[in-house]
Amino acid sequence: MATAEDNDRIAKALALLGNQFDPEIEESFTSISERILAQALENVELAERKLRQIQKLVGDVALVTSN
């Protein structure tokens, strides 16, 4: 049985994720803790892809402006 402290931790974790799950994650995982961890990992992977794209763009700009 979840305690008030457990519920508070879950609520905080959900808030960090924007209180939403990717539909595939929601269908794939049954427990809320599994969904939270899976969504967090998905968010990290997405952020890494965006970072690589930004680095390419900024890197290209830095090369142009340094000449």
pTM for the model stands at 0.78
Query: What's the pLDDT at 60?
Result: 67
Please write down the HEC assignment for all residues of the chain.
Answer: CCCHHHHHHHHHHHHHCCCCCCHHHHHHCCCHHHHHHHHHHHHHHHHHHHHHHHHHHHHHHHHHHHC
Other CB atoms within 10 A of residue 37 CB: 14
Domain chopping of the chain, boundaries? 4-66
Q: Render pLDDT for 18-43 as a digit per residue (tens, 0 to 9).
A: 999 999 999 999 999 999 999 999 99
Query: What's the pLDDT at 2?
Result: 76
CA separation, residue 39 to residues 15, 18, 62 (Å): 12, 10, 34
Mean pLDDT, the chain, integer: 91
Note the Cα 52 to chain centre separation in Å.
16
